[in-house]
Structure 1
C-alpha cells in the first residue's frame, strides 16, 4: 500500500448513509437491551412478589430463583429466533429482519407493562408473562445478528471493528436507560406506589421507543454485501443445512466465545443488585448507582475494544479482555462484601475493563468467520447458543452457588472458569481472517482465505494484523 493510499484509508469520513446505518443499528440494540434490562431489574425487585406469589408463601428464595429463571426462559428460544431471522435475513435482507425483531421485542415489553398480576388473574398471569418473555427471546435471537451485519457490511475494511462496535454499545446504553428510569421511579415513589403501578412505567415507555427506532430504521439502506449477493444470485437454497454441515466448527466457536462475556455481563445486569441488597445490605438506590457506574464503564471499554481491534487485531483484543476477566472475577466479590458503595462501584467498573475488549470486536469477528450466504444464520445462531451457555441462567446459577456455599467469591470461580473456556475458543480463530473480503464471493468460515480485494469504501485496505 502506498503512503498516499494509507492516508486515504485512515482519513475515511463516514458518509451520510453510513451514519444512518450506525444510528439504526445502535438505536435498535439499545432498545432491545433496555427491554431486557428493565425485565431483569423487575425480576430482582418485584416479579417474585407479584407473579410468583404461591412459591413465595412457602419459600421466598424459591420464588426469587423462579423469577431469575424466567429471564433464562427467553434465552432458550433465541436459537429458534436466530434460525428464523437467519433464514429471512440470508434471503430477504438484513433490514427486514431488523424491523420485525424491533416490533416483536418492543411490543412484548410494552404488553408486560399492561399484564395483570397473580392476585388479579391467578395462574394466567405468570403463564402470559412467560409467553411474552418467549416472544422477547425470539425477537432478540434475530436482532443482534441483523444489526451487527448491517454495521460491519457497510464498513470500510480497516474500520470493521469500529463500525461493528455501534450495535455493541447498545448494551451499556440500554442498561443506562433502564437504570436511570428505575432510579428515578424509586426516588419519586413510595414502595407501595412502585409495587402497585410504578414498575410498569419503564415497560410502557417502550411504545415510544419503538416508534422512534422504526422511523430511524426505515431510512436505512440494505447491506451492500447482501445487495451484491442478491444481484449475483448466490443465495443458498438451504443456508441452515449448509451452515450446520460446513461451518459447524465456527458456530460452536462463536457460542463459546460469547458465553463468558454474556455470563459476566449478566452479573452487572441482573445479579449484583440482588446480591448486594440481600447478602450485603446495600439499599436499592446504592445498587442502581453501581449499575450506572457499570454502564458507563461498559460503554467506554466496549467502544475502545471495537476501535483498538482494528489496530492490534481482534483475537488479541479478545484475549486481553478474557485475561482481565479471569483475574478479576474472584477478587471483585471481596470488594463488594466490604459494604462500601465506593468499593462496590469500583468492583463493577474494573469488571467492565475486561467486558469491553471481549465484546466490542464481536460484530466484526463473527462477520469475518462466515461467508455471506450463511453469515446472518451463522452469527445469529452462534450468538444465541452463546447466550444460553452464558447469560441465560447465570443469575440462577450464581444464586444457587451462593445458597450452597454462602461465599460470593465462589461465583467468581464459576465466571473465571467460563472466561478461560472462552479465551481458549477465541485463540482457535485464525488471525488471518481479519480483513478478508466480505463480499458474496468471500472466504469460507473454516479459515480458508481469499485474495483481499479493494476496500469498498476507501479503495484500499490495511494489512491484516
Structure 2
C-alpha cells in the first residue's frame, strides 16, 4: 500500500498496541562505542589542530610570510575543515540511505584517520616548499568531508540499534564525542609539553599528537567492522525501500523537518563556542587570567559533560524531548548574562563554576539533540536529512560564532552584545523546536518487527513511497 512521510506536526496515530522487537544488548553497546569513537576522534583532531594552527603551522608550513600573516594562513586551513563539511554531509548522508549506515561509517572514519595521520608525517615548507601548505589544505579538506558524513551515520548507528523509547540516551553516544575528544587532546598535548622542550615540540612533538589518533581509528574500525548494519536499515533494504534520490526527497517532502533540525542546532553550537573557545580569549586578554587557569576551567566543564550529556538524553526520554531541549536553551541564554556579570576579577573558582554551569545548560540541549534531529525525518531519509542539518547548521552556528564574539567585543568594548548574540541563537533554536515534531516510535518498531518476521503490515507505517 502507498504511504507517505509522517507530517512534521506530530506522529501518526497507531490504533493497535505494538509488540516490542528484540533488543540485543551486546550489539547495542558495540554500536554505542562505535558511535562515540568516531566523534571523539573528530573533536580530538579539532583540539589538536587548533593548537597546531596557532603555534606550529605558521612556522612549519608558512615561514615565507611574516608571523601575523602566517598565523592567519594557518587558521584559514582550519576553516577549510568547516567549509568542506557540507560536501561530506551531501555525499555520505545520501549514501547512508542508499547503501547503509555501517559502510558509510567505516569509510568516513578511514578518511578522517588517514588524513590526520598524513598531517602528522607531512614534510614542512623547508623540505618541499609550497607543496607543503597545499597538501595541508587538501588534507584538511578531506578531514572536513569525512566529519561531514560521520555525525549522521554515528547517531543512526547507536539510535537505530536501541529501543526507540530510549533514543535520547542511546543517540547521545555521538554527542559525548566533543568533551571526550577535548579531554584526550589536551591530555596528549599536556604530556608532550611536559616531556619535551619547546624546540622539540616544534620539531617533532606536535606530529606525535596527530599520529596518536591512529589508535582511535584502529579501535573504531575494529568495532565498526564487527557490527552488522542497523536493524532499521536492514528492514528498509530487505523491502527495497531505499530512496533513489534522497536529497531531492528531503527537500521536496521533508523541508520543514530539515529547517527545524538546522535551526535547533544553532543555539547549542553558539553556546559551546562561547564557553570552550571564546572564554579563553576573554579570560586571558580582558580579565587577566593565566591560560592554564582558563583551560583548566574548560577541561573541568568538559569532564562534567561526559556524564551530563547522556543524563540529559535519558531525561528527554522520560519527559517531552522538545521541552527538555527548550529549557536548556532558555537557561543557557540567561546564564550567559549571569556568567559575564559575576566574572570580574581573578577568581578561578568562580570561573570554573561559571563554565561548568554553562556547559551543563549546553548538555541539556546537546544530549537530546541527536535524537531530536533523527526523529524529524522518516527512517528512509534519516541519514541524508540528519547529515544535511548537522553540516549546514555547523557553518551558520559554531563555525562563525568565535569570530562574531571577537568582532562584537572589539567593536563595543563590552560583553553585553556577546550575550545578546547567544540569546538570539537560543531564540533561533526555540523556533526550530516549535517547527519540529515529537518522537514517533511506531516508525522504527514497524521496520524492526518486519525484519524479525512479526509485523503484520506489508510496509511500515512511517515509510515514504519509494517508487
Q: Is the 8 A contact 1:256 1:422 kept in 2?
A: yes
Query: Which one of the candidate residues 310, 313, 316 is aligned to 2:323?
Result: 316
**Which residue is equivalent to 1:23?**
33
Matches within 5 A, 1:135-214: 135-214=142-221
Moved more, 243-252 or 378-387: 243-252
Query: Matched residues in 2 for 1:69 and 1:415: separation?
Result: 24
Cα 1:313/1:168, change in 2 over 3 Å: same
Once the 2 structures are TM-superposed, how far is the Cα of residue 411 of structure 1 from its aligned partner? 2.4
Query: Matched residues in 1 for 2:34 and 2:433: separation?
Result: 28
Moved more, 111-120 or 76-85: 111-120
Query: Which one of the candidate residues 431, 440, 444 is aligned to 1:438?
Result: 444
**Which residue is equivalent to 2:44?**
34
Once the 2 structures are TM-superposed, how far is the Cα of residue 13 of structure 1 from its aligned partner? 8.0
Q: Is the 8 A contact 1:91 1:235 kept in 2?
A: yes
Cα 1:56/1:279, change in 2 over 3 Å: farther
Query: Matched residues in 1 for 2:284 and 2:349: separation?
Result: 15
**Which residue is equivalent to 1:256?**
263
Q: Does 1:305 align with 2:312?
A: yes
Instruction: Name the SS for the 1:438 alignment partner.
Output: helix
Alignment coverage as a number of residue pairs: 437
Q: Is the 8 A contact 2:311 2:367 kept in 1?
A: yes
Query: Matched residues in 2 for 1:375 and 1:305: separation?
Result: 22
**Which residue is equivalent to 1:449?**
none
Deviations along 1:246-291, one digit per CA (max 9) or x if unpaired, are 1122112211111221122233443333443344443343233122
Q: Does 1:276 align with 2:283?
A: yes
Query: Matched residues in 2 for 1:181 and 1:120: separation?
Result: 27
| Structure 1 residues without counterparts, runs of 5 or longer | 443-452, 460-465
Instruction: Name the SS for the 1:215 alignment partner.
Output: helix
What TM-score results when the alignment is normalised by the length of structure 1? 0.86
Deviations along 1:17-58, one digit per CA (max 9) or x if unpaired, are 11111111112221122112221233344445554556654x
Cα 1:338/1:161, change in 2 over 3 Å: same
Query: Matched residues in 2 for 1:110 and 1:23: separation?
Result: 22
Query: Which one of the candidate residues 249, 264, 288 is aligned to 1:242?
Result: 249
Once the 2 structures are TM-superposed, how far is the Cα of residue 412 of structure 1 from its aligned partner? 2.6
Cα 1:20/1:112, change in 2 over 3 Å: same
**Which residue is equivalent to 2:89?**
82
Deviations along 1:132-151, one digit per CA (max 9) or x if unpaired, are 22111100111110010111
**Which residue is equivalent to 1:447?**
none
Give the aligned CA root-mean-square deviation in angstroms.
2.9
Q: Is the 8 A contact 1:72 1:393 kept in 2?
A: no
Once the 2 structures are TM-superposed, how far is the Cα of residue 409 of structure 1 from its aligned partner? 4.2
Q: Does 1:132 align with 2:139?
A: yes
Cα 1:263/1:47, change in 2 over 3 Å: farther
Cα 1:234/1:128, change in 2 over 3 Å: same
